[in-house]
Amino acid sequence: MPHTLADVLPSVAASFGLPAADPLGIAPNRDMVVLLIDGLGAELLTRHRAVAPTLAAHVVATLATGFPATTATSLASLALGAPCATHGIIGYSFALPDTGSHRLFNSLRWRFDGATGPDARADLPPEQVQPHRSRLQDLAAHGVDVHYVVPAYQRTSGLTRAVFRAVGTVHPATTLDQVRDGILAVANHSGTGSRFAYAYFPDLDGMGHLHGPGSQPWLAVLRDLEAVVADLLSALPGTCTLLITGDHGMIHADTVIDLDARPRLHQEVRLIAGEARARHVYLERPDALADVQAAWTAELTGHARVVSREQALDEHWFGPTPPEPVIAHRIGDLLAVAEGRSVLYCPQREPLESSLVGHHGAWTADEQLVPLISSRPTAS
């Protein structure tokens, strides 16, 4: 079995002496920092290793993000040390029929109806939508001092509350310099107690979405990341291990399928959720499944694979163990997963997302694989 993003924090916990599996063999150290670079795909890093030789030289493993390859799902898998079938954050957006509503829920922004819709935190308390303990809570209970080096808005965001959960010291960081300074503030202390920090930087993903992975603006951010990481590797004390990974890679779209312009795709369909590379399709009637699947398959031949929820679960798309019924029912009756470099747009409800050129979510290696970069060799 390949290593996954969900293996990182169990191995970090094991390195701190917690009774946990240690699939990645992370050597013990007083302090640990996990820096997640949004959009840092393993294939992209390999392709552009000349721009980021330090990052490429310190790769110790390649991890699979799991399905779908998207930020909200991946952050949940990282924080909980468990796959999507366990934590239930099954995509960028989805329905929550367990709440009695098929209203679209955007899990990344924790909003109804789309990325700019009404705040859902009061109606959908994050701690109830995702009720499981995080590995950060386990670390805190073990006596590890938890820190966050993240943009200030993430302190109380719905996704942070849902998946990270542990109280900790926040070092507000938006720029790369602030990320570097926050990490060094965590690492440079004279105490004997252990610290763990989760750090996050979004700009590589942003440039990839706007201009495409490998574009000049994207490469400029990668160069800046390379410089800051090289500086950190020199400046960090030996008592701190820095681990760097991503939440997904990215592809440059070249074939646009406008789902709104295809009336046949909306017959017997209640809601289309997800994102341009991985769609959840919820039906008006369960007994319409065969007809709707046939229609979607015919319309999207050559651009997407269309499967039923049951087939996706049989093939363990969301993790090796079956999800609880509440989570299973969040998954669309059908899933349409883009192939090649096609994207499945819904421009009427998603005008911003439908203007982007870089996308992720599906099964290609460019989207699924992320590096694990370490300042120190692993133990195994």
| pLDDT tens for each residue of 59-117 | 999 999 999 999 999 999 999 999 999 999 999 999 998 777 778 999 999 999 999 99
Can you give the pLDDT at residue 379?
A: 56
Specify the pLDDT at position 98. Answer: 76
What is the tens place of the pLDDT at every residue in 4-31? 999 999 999 999 999 988 999 999 999 9
Cβ neighbours of 114 (radius 10 Å): 18
**Residue type, position 270, single letter:** R
Strand-pairing partners, residue 63, are: 370
CA distance 144 to 16: 8
For Cα atoms 228, 234, 239, give the angle at the middle one, nearest 5 degrees: 115
Residue 1 is predicted with a pLDDT of 61
Distance CA(38)–CA(206), nearest Å, equals 8
Residues near 375 by Cβ (< 8 Å), separated by ≥ 6?
Answer: 58, 232, 233, 236, 240, 241, 242, 243
pLDDT given at position 274: 98
Structure tokens at 207: 């440039």
Prediction pTM value? 0.96
Q: Decide: 88 and 105 in contact? Cβ < 8 Å.
A: no
Determine the pLDDT at residue 20. Answer: 82
Percent of the chain's residues with pLDDT above 90: 95
**Measured CA angle at 87 (ends 161, 33), to 5 deg:** 60
In the chain, which segments carry CATH 3.40.720.10?
Answer: 5-89+130-251+364-374
Q: Looking at domain 5-89+130-251+364-374, does it have CATH number 1.10.3720.10? A: no
111 vs 273: CA distance, rounded Å: 13
Q: How far apart are CA 27 and CA 96, in angstroms?
A: 40
Question: Structure tokens of 171?
Answer: 């070092």
Encoding tokens for residue 344?
């499945």
Q: Which CATH architecture has domain 255-355?
A: 2-Layer Sandwich (3.30)
Q: Which helix (H) or strand (E) holds 349?
A: none
Indicate where the chain has its CATH 3.30.1360.180 domain(s): 255-355
> Residue 377 above 80 pLDDT?
no
- Between CA 81 and CA 139 the distance in angstroms is 12
* Confidence band, pLDDT 50/70/90 cuts, at residue 262: very high
The mean-pLDDT minimum among 50-64, 97-111, 139-153, 248-262 falls in 97-111
- In this predicted structure, the answer to whether residue 195 has a pLDDT above a threshold of 70 is yes
The SS3 of residue 65 is coil
User: Rounded mean pLDDT of 372-380?
Assistant: 81
Give me the pLDDT at residue 97, please: 87
Structure tokens at 379: 């133990």
